[in-house]
Amino acid sequence: MKYGYYPGCSLERNAAAYHQSAMAVAGPLGIDLVEIDDWNCCGATEYFSINLLPAYALVARNLALAQDQGISDQLVAPCSACFLNLTKTDRYMADSPQLAADVNEALAAGGLHYTPGSVRVRHLLDIIVNDVGYDVVAAHVSKPLTGLRVAAYYGCLIVRPGYGGIFDDPEHPTVMDKLLRVLGAEVVDFPLRAQCCGGHMTQISQEVAYEMIRRLLKNAADYEADVIATVCPMCQLNLDAYQANVNQFFKTDYMIPVLYFTQLMGLAFGASPLELGIGKEFVDARPALSKIGVAVPSNGTPRKAGASKEALPMPRLEEERS
């Protein structure tokens, strides 16, 4: 399967590990990621705050490039923020002919034109679980992550607001949980799975940002997660690089490594930690990873109603029903 690939600024450097591991797993899974030539920044969450039309134009240039370079009608973005901006621009241009016209007038200044809908933007997680599928992934697992307690952390923009079409529940996503289970990991309940990592608040109000990060770390710790798995460079940065600051700020001592889901896939596929960029994280992942293969009995807080004799039945969830 051939896809256009939009790494986004983060994956060039600060999230290079994400890029490396993505490539490392893409190969075996038959995902051919072809980077679009000369792409530019998506504007993150900043550009829309300053100036509307240029913000759309900035993103639209990438869409236009993807469209013209004709690698594939699908464009994969591993970064949730990029994913949002690309899908949002495409969607809004489609919904508002006026906006489409303006953006295209701007693009014309650079000799480009983008027809809304001509490129379908997808998140890396989406294509791995939906285009490749759990079975194929399972087939590649040579070193199951047995015993590794992982908190699947989705963050916001991959599931909300769903401009690119909803591929998982915006409030309680589960696809990464399934994926990690396929890898053999023990996926812990993680109620805050889709809560915000603080985004750019680290730059604006550290108090606010640190509190958001703390909540997530606490929740992961409560469920005794060895590792937090992420799908977004921003989430990784905030939870990982700022973990020390948070500890300092709240007098806590969290030491939870934050890895990209692709890194965990790579490990399960038997790739070497090095080629997966493991070691670039601030909170050392090695102690946690040393557990792999060693089944540690869980004593994490159970979250189901005690099945005592008097106990009242629990309402069943969709998945249990089917």
Residues of this chain, 7-66, that bind other proteins according to CB under 8 A: 9, 12-16, 38-41, 43-54, 56-58, 61
**185 is a site residue for other proteins (CB under 8 A):** no
207 touches other proteins (CB under 8 A) = yes
Should residue 250 be labelled a site residue for other proteins when binding is judged by CB under 8 A? no
In one letter, which amino acid is 34?
Answer: V
Amino acid at 11: L
Tell me 276's DSSP state: G
Residue nearer to other proteins on the CB measure, 222 or 224: 222
For other proteins, the closer of residues 51 and 142 by Cβ is 51
Site for other proteins in 78-137 (CB under 8 A): 84, 92, 95-96, 99, 102-103, 105-112
The binder of other proteins chosen from 117, 142, 172, 293 (CB under 8 A): 172
Closer residue to other proteins, CB minimum distance, 31 or 220: 220
**Using the rule CB under 8 A, is 218 a contact of other proteins?**
yes
Strand 149-152 and strand 227-230: the pairing is parallel
Give all strands of the β-sheet with 227-230 in edge-to-edge order: 186-187, 149-152, 227-230, 258-260
Q: Kindly state whether residue 169 participates in binding other proteins, applying the rule CB under 8 A.
A: yes
CB 143, min distance to other proteins, A: 25
Task: For residue 159, give both structure tokens.
Answer: 């599931």
293 is written with which tokens? 């293969």
Distances (CA, A) of 304 to 71, 307, 308: 48, 8, 11
Among the listed residues 70, 294, 297, 304, the single contact to other proteins using CB under 8 A: 304
Dihedral sign of CA atoms 33, 1, 193, 169 in order: positive
Q: In angstroms, give the least distance from the CB of 271 to other proteins.
A: 19
Site for other proteins contains 69 (CB under 8 A): no
Taking the complex as a whole, how short is the minimal distance between the CB of residue 128 and other proteins, in angstroms? 23
Q: Which of residues 273-292 bind other proteins (CB under 8 A)?
A: 279-282
Stretch that binds other proteins, among 28-36, 66-74, 205-213, 290-298 (CB under 8 A): 205-213
Q: Is 318 in the site for other proteins (CB under 8 A)?
A: yes
In sequence order, what are the residues at sequence separation of 6 or more whose Cβ sits closer than 8 angstroms to the Cβ of residue 234? Answer: 10, 79, 80, 81, 155, 197, 199
- Smallest CA-to-CA distance from 17 within 287, 254, 273, 283 is with 273
Start-end of H helices in 15-79:
16-29, 47-50, 52-69
The least CB distance from residue 123 to other proteins, in Å, is 15
